[in-house]
Structure 1
Amino acid sequence: MIKLYSSKILEQIKENYVVGVLASEGEYIPRLGDEQLPVTYSNQMDDVIFFVKPLSQEPKEILEAQESSNMTNLYIGFGSKSISNLPLEFKYNSNTNEKIEYIKELLSGKLLVFKPVLTQKSERYHKNIDDLIVEEEWKQGLSYYAVPKVNLKPVEFESKLLAEEAINLERYNHAMPAPLYILCGNYIYGNIKENQWRIDSSINHNARVIISPDNVKRVEITEDEKQEFIGSDRDSIVFFDEEFINTIIADRLDFNGMKLGELEEEILMQEEPEQGLGSGRKDENTNNTNQIHEITFIRDLESKAKSRNLVYSREDLVNFHTSVKSSAMTILSGQSGIGKTKLATIYGETLGLSQEKKTMLIMPISPAYTEPGDILGYLNPSSGLYMPAETGLVEFLLHAEENENQVHMLIMDEMNLSQIEHYFAPFISLLELEERERFLHLYSKGSVCHNGQTYKHSIQLKNNLVIVGTMNTDETTKDLSDRLLDRSNVVVLEKRSFTDIKNELENFDRSLTYNSGLEDAYGEVYMTWKSKNENWNAFEDQELEFFDELDSFISNVDPLKGFSIRSLIRMGAYINNLPADSSNEYNIERREAIDLFIKQRVITKIRGPIELYEGLIGVLEVGGQEPNGALFSLFSSNAANQISNFNKTKNELIRKARELSLNGYAT
């Protein structure tokens, strides 16, 4: 008879993370599916099953169960249960071979991060997989060492160790073997003996205490080493190349390790380093700590991007940041492969957000999405249960509502693969409402819902919710409607030359990477960066007169495309929310900001056939310099030049005029 573990132990086990790789065909595969292959189908389970070989430490009880029952060392995953965010076409595909190939292609050669599950069933144990995350390519032959990450300042952490106070290891709890290394900031702490750890269950099942910590040492780890030797970096756990930890770090601790208590305070919350990017510059407006932190954040954002070999223009970074602050929704557009989704993700990470903390949700959009229920879920009238969609959007929105002081970021990846106005319709209607009126209704208040305590009938979308979408423009995507464009800033990322990218990365000193260490604070102070100034007060009378003239030019051709009051108010919000930087390194001048906004909020709506828009946009033959349209003349006038040079707007009009000449249609 097998030993039965308590439900408490089983829950503790699956709070941890393990990394692994898809089993190879040369390994022994249990006979659980229709074929003994790493990925196969099980008619009994009516699902694709796959087998993963672990490459890092495993929970003690799982190893104990494995030894006592001679079960396989492989973990068993189920396609529709173990992997999050699978497209709906996978779920409803009746072709088993296609489903097998999809899972095989998704997992093969990748490092896989998952929560281990010990299942007790029919006098047997099974090692199962929950919440599987597909990481980057797995380097053949590597195994990994799980190092708990403590989200404290190193000084605070060392103080706790010396005082023999409990340390919370959230993704490495009591179910795991005692850790021999811990990561805090840019330091790895080691020289820890296994028997030094004492479990403190009186606090929680994550708390451990190091007894007599005098032998513990720390060594610094560089950004280059993190890039090279970290296989996966999650919220509270990092998976290092095991050989790197057991050789390079172990030797460094032996010969160069520093004892506890010798570390000085690294940074104060309201201070910056004293010189330029890479070491920062103190803002002259020291009375406004929010502005100081905001420029620090943008520096961190640029640095984090470059550390991942991504180079964006500073104007794009400031423009995107300002758009996110000032608009209900921001859409990132640009050439495929330019890094739209990565910019959105890095922006969230720099704010200290993550999917593990439920403060960021990356939601890939499927072409199968046709209605709000596809991303939200529905109330089943037969069972009386609310069935949330597999996207996780409802749970994310509930978490955002309950934690209104913490910013939450929803990233809709490739949002125009399906018609946005169909699946996102309730949100579009709510985006322009005041917070007190912004309620998303999941089902009728009078309906019977047995799990209504968990899934209440409506969710308030508060001001802490940030929505960013990414979009491509090709034959597989849908056009954005004017209704959506009227409520969104469309930021088109600049295509940098290959030479510029190479030069910037070569001149980027990774050992001096600017990192303020404020990630955990950014998400909490983000809301204070938003301007409270009246949007109408952002304009002078001559500017309003020019915008009236612009609206008249457009409305005379198409009244639905004019410069709306909504757009003007949003421009005021955009101008008011421009971050102030006295060094001018991360600054968009007001004149440039007006140009950017007109291009991405007004000109984007002007699209259509040559019969309608030739007079407004003009046409431009190959080799021509300026279109003969009314708008180009308006933006070249003396009245326009007093407000902005409108170079970006005019370049966009030139592009549209060329399209009219070549295709008879402007997009």
Structure 2
Amino acid sequence: MPLKQLFEEVMNNYIVAKTLQFKGNRMGEILRNEIPNAIQKFSFIGGDFIVKGSCGQGKWAEVPWVAIMHKSVTKTTMEGVYIVYLFSSDMKRLYLTLNQGCTKLKDEYGKATAIEKMISIAASIRDKLNPKSWKTDDNISIGNELYEKGMIFYKLYEKDNIPSDEVLKSDLNDLINIYIDYILSTRNSKEESMQKEDMENTYKIKEEITNIKNYIRSRGFLYDDNLIENYYLSLKTKPFLILAGISGTGKSKLARLFAEAIGATAGNSRFKLVPVRPDWSDSTDLLGYKDLNGRFHPGVLTTFVKNAMENPQKPYFFVLDEMNLARVEYYFSDVLSIIESRNKGNKTIVTDRLLNRELLDNDSFSKYGDIYIPDNLYFIGTVNMDETTFPFSKKVLDRANVIELSDVDLDYAFEDVEEVSPKTLNNDFLRSDFLTLKDCAEYKDDIVYKTISILKEINNVLGYYRFGYRVRDEICFYTIYNSIYGLMDFDEAIDYEILQKILPRINGSSISIKKLLIELFKICSGNLENRFDYDSGVSEKMFEEIFNAKYRKSCEKIAFMTRRYEEDGFTSYWL
């Protein structure tokens, strides 16, 4: 049936059809199938277009319609810009329009604000395209205010004067070309906008990190160059890091000052430092316990998590001070496992529930039963590297960046210290963008492949100490964030990650450990032709080559670990 005849059948019979049963009515067949099929046969309607008609869902719509959507713009009439035939509610007029989806805007902002936004968008598109043969005035009467206010361009067909199929086809072809011009202009604008946004975001991150460094310096603490960049990238990569070093190197202070610099303090309950007790043998102090009467008593972490969930836009910091005074696996393994369950929910990152149902009584279940680790909560552990503490298992080390603070700058330049005020930053500053390597597809051709090729070379020499997918992914995330924000050279970022994610896992007393360290040093020095004697004096030769090494920090640590093996017959990352 010709398109003209189909339109006329709707306009002549729709009002009567609305008085009849909705299901099985021929009007639905015309609007949902026959008109869309007729339009789909036009040669200028390619496979990138979706043609869809409707007369309601379960009950009759006041204004039936037939929409033509380009897949790159929208696949639903609830949002976006698309072409749509709109029948007036009195069936006296048919409008061919370039229009806007209004449902999602109305649901999010309310009707009044949605109308304001649609009017603004329409005006912007008209200024760019301005086709002379199409009307842009407000003299349009459909019977639905949102359809009327969302209109960008239109042509009017009166009931008794529907043009021939040739004219209908020509008009639609003209509007399709206008629609394509809109799509192309939007793509260019989006690309320019994204480039500008990326540049502004990079500058903003650098500016915020500089302010953090200045704030910490103003409090009398001097740390190595790029330490704060490294600290930031580590938290961005994974919301759990370990600060290691001898006592008094400012580990706890760094955690506190970094949090203060972005607005999280003990005073506003967004920073919590909890000293770990040597007698912690389970998670009750952190998560809570059920007493003999069956009543649940929440732990310090449980209440902190609940507070963080109630204020999702602000970052929260939970610091476990001297966390290896007790065995970390005994009291923190449940939390580590929950962190690993992170997945993307509705515009946020969620985890499995923090507490088991069996732990809660009926009263506390309503309060704590659904809590999880939110994406604005960050865990920092401080550890002393000495013989009085417990070593870490691979389960812990695989899940954290280990930042070592051993060298202390004791100088204090009174004349350089200026008062710097902290800022209150949104959680977007620290929130992770990537949870799986699949999320990083746009970076695969440069950063990801480059990072993985280095990691494969290292893994080949690690033997028993080989790492798996988790370490691979998190090192890739680190190097990608570093590249996005331009904080360090690529090699410097890789150097930090070898030092923090790979070397802490290595320890032992067999000769294979020394051989492993030698092969690893060759890779990190960038000189695979190095010839070392496995029997003695290797560490001194390593120290001689550190200054020209590709990954200098890692080479220096490997040299220290090798020296310890030569002196004690045993070595590890930890002092």
Shorter-chain TM-score tier: 0.5 to 0.7
TM-score, normalised to structure 1, is 0.49
CA 337–427 in structure 1, closer or farther in 2 if over 3 Å, else same: same
- Alignment-derived partner of residue 561 in structure 2: 656
Q: Distance in 2 between matches of 1:476 and 1:542?
A: 40
Q: Distance in 2 between matches of 1:597 and 1:427?
A: 23
- Alignment-derived partner of residue 341 in structure 2: 433
Tell me the secondary structure at the aligned position of residue 391 of structure 2: coil
Conserved 8 A contact 2:314-2:426: yes
- Alignment-derived partner of residue 493 in structure 1: 405
Match of 1:484 among 388, 391, 396: 396
Match of 1:444 among 347, 353, 357: 357
Conserved 8 A contact 2:205-2:485: no
Once the 2 structures are TM-superposed, how far is the Cα of residue 312 of structure 1 from its aligned partner? 0.9
Once the 2 structures are TM-superposed, how far is the Cα of residue 614 of structure 1 from its aligned partner? 2.5
Trace 1:153-232 onto structure 2 (pairs within 5 A).
Answer: none
Tell me the secondary structure at the aligned position of residue 314 of structure 1: coil
Once the 2 structures are TM-superposed, how far is the Cα of residue 412 of structure 1 from its aligned partner? 0.9
Once the 2 structures are TM-superposed, how far is the Cα of residue 539 of structure 1 from its aligned partner? 3.2
Match of 2:215 among 290, 301, 304: 304
Q: Say whether 1:393 aligns with 2:282.
A: no
Q: Say whether 1:366 aligns with 2:269.
A: no
Q: Say whether 1:564 aligns with 2:468.
A: yes
Q: Distance in 1 between matches of 2:336 and 2:429?
A: 23
RMSD of Structure 2 on Structure 1 (CA): 2.8
Trace 1:592-611 onto structure 2 (pairs within 5 A).
Answer: 592-611=492-511
Q: Distance in 2 between matches of 1:565 and 1:640?
A: 29
Q: Distance in 2 between matches of 1:640 and 1:344?
A: 41
Once the 2 structures are TM-superposed, how far is the Cα of residue 588 of structure 1 from its aligned partner? 1.6
CA 445–610 in structure 1, closer or farther in 2 if over 3 Å, else same: closer
Match of 1:578 among 455, 471, 482: 482
Trace 1:625-644 onto structure 2 (pairs within 5 A).
Answer: 629-637=518-526
* More strand by percentage: 1
- Alignment-derived partner of residue 317 in structure 1: 228
Tell me which moved more, 413-422 or 528-537. Answer: 528-537
Q: Distance in 2 between matches of 1:654 and 1:639?
A: 16
Question: Alpha-carbon deviations, 1:170-196, whole Å to 9, x = none?
Answer: xxxxxxxxxxxxxxxxxxxxxxxxxxx
Q: Distance in 2 between matches of 1:322 and 1:300?
A: 16
CA 640–335 in structure 1, closer or farther in 2 if over 3 Å, else same: farther
CA 579–300 in structure 1, closer or farther in 2 if over 3 Å, else same: farther
* More helix by percentage: 2
Q: Distance in 1 between matches of 2:322 and 2:265?
A: 19
Q: Distance in 1 between matches of 2:208 and 2:263?
A: 11
- Alignment-derived partner of residue 371 in structure 2: 459
CA 546–576 in structure 1, closer or farther in 2 if over 3 Å, else same: closer
Once the 2 structures are TM-superposed, how far is the Cα of residue 394 of structure 1 from its aligned partner? 1.1
Once the two structures are aligned, what percentage of the paired residues are identical?
Answer: 23
Once the 2 structures are TM-superposed, how far is the Cα of residue 615 of structure 1 from its aligned partner? 1.9
Once the 2 structures are TM-superposed, how far is the Cα of residue 563 of structure 1 from its aligned partner? 3.1
Conserved 8 A contact 1:365-1:418: yes
CA 379–650 in structure 1, closer or farther in 2 if over 3 Å, else same: same
Match of 1:616 among 510, 513, 516: 516
Question: Alpha-carbon deviations, 1:259-301, whole Å to 9, x = none?
Answer: xxxxxxxxxxxxxxxxxxxxxxxxx978644333322322222
Q: Say whether 1:423 aligns with 2:326.
A: no
Once the 2 structures are TM-superposed, how far is the Cα of residue 649 of structure 1 from its aligned partner? 1.3
Contiguous gaps of at least 5 residues in structure 1: 1-283, 618-628
Q: Distance in 2 between matches of 1:615 and 1:365?
A: 37
Contiguous gaps of at least 5 residues in structure 2: 1-194, 531-548
- Alignment-derived partner of residue 666 in structure 1: 571
Q: Distance in 1 between matches of 2:526 and 2:301?
A: 48
CA 288–554 in structure 1, closer or farther in 2 if over 3 Å, else same: same
- Alignment-derived partner of residue 128 in structure 2: none
- Alignment-derived partner of residue 315 in structure 2: 407
Conserved 8 A contact 1:607-1:665: yes
CA 447–325 in structure 1, closer or farther in 2 if over 3 Å, else same: closer
Trace 1:129-144 onto structure 2 (pairs within 5 A).
Answer: none
Tell me the secondary structure at the aligned position of residue 563 of structure 1: coil
Tell me the secondary structure at the aligned position of residue 539 of structure 1: helix
Question: Alpha-carbon deviations, 1:355-378, whole Å to 9, x = none?
Answer: 332322111111111101122211
CA 579–298 in structure 1, closer or farther in 2 if over 3 Å, else same: farther
CA 638–612 in structure 1, closer or farther in 2 if over 3 Å, else same: closer
Larger radius of gyration: 2
- Alignment-derived partner of residue 387 in structure 2: 475
Question: Alpha-carbon deviations, 1:148-206, whole Å to 9, x = none?
Answer: xxxxxxxxxxxxxxxxxxxxxxxxxxxxxxxxxxxxxxxxxxxxxxxxxxxxxxxxxxx
Conserved 8 A contact 2:281-2:331: yes
CA 449–384 in structure 1, closer or farther in 2 if over 3 Å, else same: farther
2:355 maps to amino acid: L
Match of 2:429 among 517, 521, 526: 526
Q: Distance in 1 between matches of 2:280 and 2:359?
A: 27
Once the 2 structures are TM-superposed, how far is the Cα of residue 386 of structure 1 from its aligned partner? 0.9
